[in-house]
Chain A
Amino acid sequence: MASAPPPPYRLLGGRIPYVDGPLKVTGRAEYTDDIQRPGMLVGRVLRSPWPHARLRSIDVREARAVPGVHAVLTGERYPTPFGVLPITHDETAIAVDKARYIGDIIAAVAARDERTAEEALARVRCEIDSLPEHADPRMGVSGVSEPIQKRSLPGTNIQKEVVQHFGDVDEAFRAARYTARVRGTFAGVTHAFTEPLVTIAEATPDGRLTVWSATQVPHYLHRALSEVLGIPLHRIRVIKPEVGGGFGGKSDPLPHEIACAALAIETGRPVKILFDREDVFYTNHGRHPTQNDVRVAADAEGNLLAYDIEALIDGGAWSSFGTVTTYYNGVLAMGPYRIPNFRYRGRRVYTNKPPSGAMRAHGGTNIRHSVEVALDELAEAMGRDPFDLRAQNALAPGSTTVNEFRITSTSFLDCLNAVRSASGWREKFRALPYGRGVGLGCGFYISGSNSPIHFTPKMPQSTVHLKVDMDGGIAVHSMQADIGQGSNTLLAAIVAEVLGVDLERVHVQRVDSDVSPVDLGSYSSRVTFMMGNAARAAAEELKGKLLAAAAAIRERPVSDISVGHERFEVAGAPDLAVPFLDALHKAMETTGALTASGSYQTQPRGGSFKGAKAGTAPAYSFAAYVAEVEVDVETGVYRVETIWAGFDCGRPLNRLAVEGQIEGSIHMGLGQVMGESMSYRGTRLLNPSLLEYKIPMPQQMPRIEIHLVGADDPDGPFGAKEAGEGPLIATLPAVGNALYDAIGVRFTELPITPDRVLRGIDRRRSEGRAWKGQ
């Protein structure tokens, strides 16, 4: 329910129900698949059944001859490679020359209905040469005769290698009193958003192309369409209807979106491609299967001295965000603690599997689990409480990390304190009976990537336009992408807060590149911070016009006028307050409808070394979680009973949304801990369905107690930072470390399935090492 915020704000900081909630819960919100265009055709794609094959010829003549088929396309029609990062364009709309994984798109068809489309696809004849398949990234680091992609390091399938060294790690380890080492293994996981991928495209006789798509980043889709199809940006219109979840899986421009547009151009008819769940699994772009090796060192007093990290990252067939991923798997270890010496070697290797990409808490999740488990080990070796070790090493507000991250606000210590006391840690840690335990996991995350991905860095990251006409309704335009996280609500609330009006006056318009100013969309937890600042700037501009008009009406200086609720107050004269509409109509006398524009641009951050921008952000969120678990030591089945979540997102602007993000993040994090896994036999995905991909059920959710302890961030809008991704990270190590407290077994391989728990218990017993008397 709605509730009032703490002062000084009227809306922000309270619990604000989503402005689009009533439409969504009544089924009236329009998602892409709800859209019907006259004469619309069904588009379908043909997928490669081969993991790695040279496409010698693809004969589509028979497919084209099927009655009701309007077009069949193969890769050579639009061979221009694309990708979300400008430096690693290695994807194509439809495979050219080679198929690179089971599920790679090798042809696309537009037909009058689904059955006809499938019949046509069944008649496509391919001649191929099978190529050696690469399932294991370890096999791709040398001696590769037939690389998956041309652009890998010579003789390998290595897509990206990152080597960084700050300080002197070897010397730090020599000087260390305590060290710990964790070798982590992480299965790939995928977003499993509710709304499957879906795109509609329509090319019209006026020379324009319109694309409706379930996307998190309409702007990057816009660019990719233009590049691959060779159509200037201004002749392409990208519309983002409601989107049913993304979690990073809709942030790349995707091949089917471009293929759909190509089919629309080819046929002159609107074409819709709607994926089923199996298609979505093959599209993937989820969290990378990863192996890492983390060594940590501390001195006799418990001061952390160094991290030494290696990561081997399974990229699948394409680059996607992979270059960023490779950096993040190292540099996102650099908070929330002071690490004076740091060395990292990360390699991302192509394999013949569905491409990995960005997924919620991208790049920061797997490394965080290994680091936090290592710190737990370190604390145990020292005989220190894990809280004390972390508190002692916490980054201070206003500090700079050794790799030059600028830490402005941090309430990490408050996160620690809140959950330490709420969880009853002192009474529980190492004191609960065998099979029951508590664990601490911490984290931090970027509040928006400081560097935009595209090559026009001088353009603002976010722009918001406002228009208000005589009806008093305020139309808000921006290309920010609400994908269910509530950014439309926040956008409306910021405008309403600044102008003092009721929320229902503010109408956030559907994202439409013809009218929405560019915002880089929903990824890297950037929206609240960047769009929020842009929205505030736009609303302030509009406010200035209205204050001036109110001042003119009352013939008082502007400095006497202030924003009230649906009116403008006159200093010392409550009776002279000017109603909102009166001020508006006065302001419109010379210009007509009022417009205003605000934007946000990040300031230059980071050092000058290679890769220095990776992981820089205008602010960072912080988290400390305690999990309490109960293990059935006969079956290995465990239950996470409670998670106490201490989180610093600065000032939470919509508590309802922040709490939702934390609960959803914990659910997603638990999935990666407890059972979610892209399971492969070689290069073959065994479980491309929601039945066999084990997302936790509601019954498995723990009790969640949220402690929002952030102080205002100096640069965040109204003091806010991100809350969309950081809340996931701490979930994993909190559970892992709680399992250790319960049964004395370190889990470094995820997911932690019951059979692994049982094997761990067996191992410990066979070694004769009792735990809590058992």
Chain B
Amino acid sequence: MHLDPFELHRPTTVEEAVGLAHDLAGRTDFVAGGTDLLPNYKMHLNVRPHLIALEDIPELRGRSLARIGAMERLADIESDAALARVYPGLADAVGEVATPLVRSSGTVGGNLLVETRCFFFNQSLFWRSSLGYCLKADGDKCHVVPQKERCYATFSGDVAPVLLVLDAEVEVAGPSGRRRIPLAALYDATGDGIRRLTLAPGELLVAVHLPEGARGRRARYKKLRVRPSYDFPELGVAVAGRWDAGRVASMHLAVGGVETYPRRFDELTAPLEGCALSDTAVRGLAEAVMRKLRPVHNTFLLPDYRRRMVEVYVRRAIAEAREGAAE
């Protein structure tokens, strides 16, 4: 497999990058660590002739408790003691991404925007040609759920669920200026595996902002995968909570690796606030989350199993978050 030639642009400011993206609309991608994009390009998946490298833009760097630049390397976040102390769940999740080698190139922004995945999409040009391609690249049918309307490719980032339960916001720059939105609003809950983000053409992720309120929360991330490294999540559950004298002061829960976007379940966790969380209540919550999710058969593990694991992983994530809070 080889990369088709592309023209590489190396802007040094966000504005310059956004301007390039605007001028090259439809013919370019941003490239951060390249650990997701370049393998996909080798497989000739939605290849563009121009790449805008974000490497040389100082504004996309920097780590503090309040702000993490989109181009910060996962390995640097993982080994940042101050971040790990305040946001242990974030360190968990970052450390679960792929392998140390990938984390040394991969960035937090890249992981938030990682391309959705599917057995029938993440394949070589030859492989896909032998099947007649799919909705998400070069074709007009879905091989997972045969129809022509919707793509079921799965959101496969590990960092988003944790940042969701920490109420993170993201800063976005685009041709029409800057905006700051809740992370949840970055993902298109009404879209599918193709239309998965709410970013407008040419928009760029600048940084992740963590609110003051996130600092007291003890988050945990539990990842289901076949092997303890390398593999993308087949399910990722993040929970953050605060407990007050045994009662839930606040709780947030998010699930990735199952649907086309990472999803928060405020409607299920909000009613628990003020309650003493019995095992029955936890089980009820876990089952309710499970009932809302419908994995499809587009990853290694079978959908029934992944769905069943939603219940187990939610329970376990809550138990660990609670333990963490008690420490």
Residues of A within 8 A of B (CB): 47, 49-50, 102, 114-115, 118, 276, 278, 634-636, 675, 679, 684, 686-688, 691-692, 694, 696-697, 699-700, 753-755, 758
Q: Which residues of B contact A115 (CB under 8 A)?
A: 2
A675's contact among B126, B227, B312, by CB below 8 Å, is which? B227
> Nearest Cβ in chain A — how far from B207, in angstroms?
30
**Which residues of chain B are within 8 angstroms of A635 by Cβ–Cβ distance?**
224, 309, 312
Contact B228 A700 (CB under 8 A): yes
Asked, given contacts A691-B231, A692-B300, A699-B228, whether A278 binds B127 with beta carbons under 8 Å apart, the answer is: yes
User: A118 vs B129: C-alpha distance in the bound complex, in angstroms?
Assistant: 14
Give A754's nearest chain B residue, CB to CB.
B305
- Residues on A with C-beta less than 8 A from B119 are 686-687, 692
Q: Residues of A contacting B226 with CB < 8 Å?
A: 675, 694, 753
Interface membership of B308, Cβ < 8 A: yes
Within 8 A of A (CB), among B105-138: 119, 123-124, 126-127, 129-131
Judge whether B16 is part of the interface by a CB distance below 8 angstroms.
Answer: no
Most buried by A among B301, B304, B309: B309
B299 closest partner in A (C-beta) = A692
Chain A residues with CB under 8 Å of B228's CB are 697, 699-700
Q: Mark B96-111, 1 if CB is under 8 A from A, else 0.
A: 0000000000000000
Q: Smallest distance from the beta carbon of A44 to chain B beta carbons, Å?
A: 10
Interchain Cβ contacts under 8 Å between A and B, 15 examples: A47-B126, A49-B126, A634-B312, A635-B224, A636-B305, A675-B227, A684-B130, A684-B131, A694-B226, A696-B227, A697-B228, A699-B227, A753-B226, A754-B305, A758-B305
A293 to B131, CA, bound (A): 35
Residue of A nearest to B120 (CB): A686
One digit per residue, 1 when the CB lies within 8 angstroms of any chain A CB and 0 when it does not, for chain B 279-305 equals: 000000000000000000000111011
Task: Report the Cα distance A49→B123, complex, angstroms.
Answer: 13
**Residues in chain A near residue B126, CB distance under 8 A:** 47, 49, 278
Residues from chain A with a CB closer than 8 A to the CB of B300 are 679, 687, 692, 694
Is B1 close to A, CB under 8 A?
yes
Q: Chain A contacts of B130 at CB under 8 A?
A: 49-50, 102, 684
Measured CA separation A691–B312 after assembly (Å): 25
Q: A635-B224, A755-B305 are in contact. List 5 more A-B contacts (CB 8 A).
A: A50-B130, A276-B1, A635-B312, A694-B226, A755-B304
Q: Are A278 and B312 within 8 A (Cβ)?
A: no
Q: Is the CB of B227 within 8 A of A694?
A: yes
In the complex, whether B6 has a CB less than 8 A from a CB of chain A is no
Question: Shortest Cβ distance from A684 into chain B, in angstroms?
Answer: 7
Shortest Cβ distance from residue B201 to the other chain A in the assembled complex, whole angstroms: 30
Q: Which of B1, B224, B229 contacts A699 (CB 8 A)?
A: B229
Assembly CA distance A691 to B230 (angstroms): 7
Q: With the chains together, A636 CA to B301 CA distance in Å?
A: 12
Q: For residue A755, which residue of chain B has the nearest CB?
A: B305
**Contact string, B210-235, partner A, CB cutoff 8 A, digits 1/0?**
00000000000000101111110000
CB distance from B283 to the nearest CB of A (A): 12
- Interface of chain B residues 179 through 206 with chain A (CB within 8 A): none
Provide the bound-state CA to CA distance between A102 and B127, in Å: 9
- Contact residues in B for A118 (Cβ distance below 8 Å): 2
Counting chain A CB atoms within 10 Å of each CB, which of B119, B131, B304, B305 scores highest? Answer: B305
> Shortest distance in angstroms between B1's beta carbon and chain A's nearest beta carbon?
5
- Give the Cβ gap from A51 to chain B, nearest Cβ, in Å: 9
Number of interface residues of B (CB under 8 A): 25
Instruction: For the complex, give the distance between the alpha carbons of A424 and B123 in Å.
Output: 48
Which residues in B have some Cβ–Cβ distance to A below 8 Å?
1-2, 119, 123-124, 126-127, 129-131, 224, 226-231, 300-302, 304-305, 308-309, 312
A758 CA to B311 CA, complexed, in Å: 14
- In the bound complex, residues from chain A placing their C-beta under 8 Å from that of B124 are 278, 688
Give the distance in Å from the alpha carbon of A696 to the alpha carbon of B227 in the complex. Answer: 7
Q: Is the CB of B227 within 8 A of A700?
A: yes
The majority secondary structure among interface residues of chain A is loop
Smallest CB gap from B128: residue in A = A49
A758 to B304: give the CA distance in the assembly, Å: 11
B residues near A114, Cβ cutoff 8 Å: 2
Residue of A nearest to B129 (CB): A49
Q: Are A755 and B230 in contact (CB under 8 A)?
A: no
List, in ascending order, chain B residues with CB within 8 A of A692's CB. 119, 300
| B6 vs chain A, min Cβ distance (A) | 13
**Chain B: CB-nearest residue to A636:** B305
Contacts of A634 in B (CB 8 A): 312
Known: A278-B124, A278-B126. A697 touches B2 (CB 8 A): no
CB of B227 within 8 A of CB of A697, answer: yes
Contact of A753 among B2, B229, B301 (CB under 8 A): B301
A758 touches B229 (CB 8 A): no
Output the nearest chain A residue to B232 by Cβ-Cβ distance.
A691
Closest-CB distance, A104 to chain B (whole angstroms): 11
How far, in angstroms, from A697 to B123 measured CA to CA in the complex?
22
Residues of B within 8 A of A691 (CB): 230-231
Q: How far does the Cβ of B40 sit from chain A's closest Cβ, in whole Å?
A: 12
Query: Within the complex, what minimum Cβ distance (angstroms) separates A667 from chain B?
Result: 13
Residues of A with C-beta under 8 A to B2:
114-115, 118
6 tightest A-B contacts by CB?
A49-B130, A755-B305, A699-B228, A697-B227, A694-B226, A634-B312
Return chain B residues, CB-CB under 8 Å to A699: 227-229
Is there an interface contact between A755 and B301, defined as CB atoms closer than 8 Å? yes
A697 to B119, CA, bound (A): 21
Bound-complex Cα distance A700 to B226 (A): 11
Distance between Cα atoms of A459 and B228 in the complex (Å): 50
Cα–Cα, bound, A47→B125 (Å): 12
Shortest distance between the CB of A200 and any CB in chain B (Å): 19
**B305–A688 touching, CB < 8 Å:** no
Contact indicator B231/A755 (Cβ below 8 Å): no
**Nearest Cβ on chain A to B257's Cβ, whole angstroms:** 15
Q: Which residue of B lies closest to A634 (CB)?
A: B312
CB distance from B199 to the nearest CB of A (A): 27
In the complex, how many angstroms separate the beta carbon of A352 from the nearest chain B beta carbon?
12
State in angstroms the CA–CA spacing of A696 and B231 once bound together: 11
| A697-B96 Cα distance, complex, nearest whole Å | 14
B2: min CB distance to chain A, Å? 5
Distance from A237 Cβ to chain B, minimum over Cβ atoms (Å): 31
Task: Give Cα A692 to B130, complex, Å.
Answer: 19
Bound-state CA distance A753–B305 (Å) is 11
In the complex, what's the smallest C-beta–C-beta distance from B78 to chain A, in angstroms? Answer: 16
Shortest beta-carbon distance from A604 to chain B in Å: 48
Q: Which chain B positions have C-beta within 8 A of A754? A: 301, 305
- By beta carbon, the residue of chain B nearest A683 is B130
Query: Considering the chains assembled together, what is the distance between the CA atoms of A133 and B265 in angstroms?
Result: 46
Whether A758 and B308, one on each chain, are in contact in the complex, defined by CB atoms closer than 8 angstroms, is: yes
Name the B residues within 8 Å of A679 (CB-CB). Answer: 300
Q: Which residues of B contact A755 (CB under 8 A)?
A: 301-302, 304-305
CB B36 to nearest CB in A, in angstroms, measures: 12
Q: How far is the CA of A47 from the CA of B224 in the complex (A)?
A: 35
* Nearest-Cβ distance from residue A166 to partner chain B, whole angstroms: 42
The residue in B2, B229, B300 that gathers the most chain A C-beta atoms within 10 A of its C-beta is B300
Q: In the complex, what residues of B have CB within 8 A of residue A102's CB?
A: 130
| A711 CB to nearest B CB, Å | 40
Enumerate chain A residues within 8 angstroms of B229, measured Cβ to Cβ. 697, 699
Q: A115 — nearest CB in chain B belongs to which residue?
A: B2
A684 to B130, CA, bound (A): 9
CA distance in complex: A753, B299 (Å): 14
Q: Which residues of A contact B305 (CB under 8 A)?
A: 636, 754-755, 758
Q: How far is the CB of A130 from chain B (nearest CB, A)?
A: 12
Contact of A688 among B127, B230, B308 (CB under 8 A): B127
Output the least CB separation between A37 and chain B (Å): 21
Q: Tell me the smallest distance from the CB of A90 to a CB of chain B, in Å.
A: 23
Closest to B131 in A: A684
Separation of A640 and B305 alpha carbons in the complex (Å): 21
Shortest CB-to-CB span from B315 to chain A, Å, is 9
Complex alpha-carbon distance, A122 and B119, angstroms: 24
In the complex, what residues of A have CB within 8 A of residue B230's CB?
691, 697
Q: Which residues of B contact A700 (CB under 8 A)?
A: 227-228
For the complex, give the distance between the alpha carbons of A679 and B197 in Å: 32
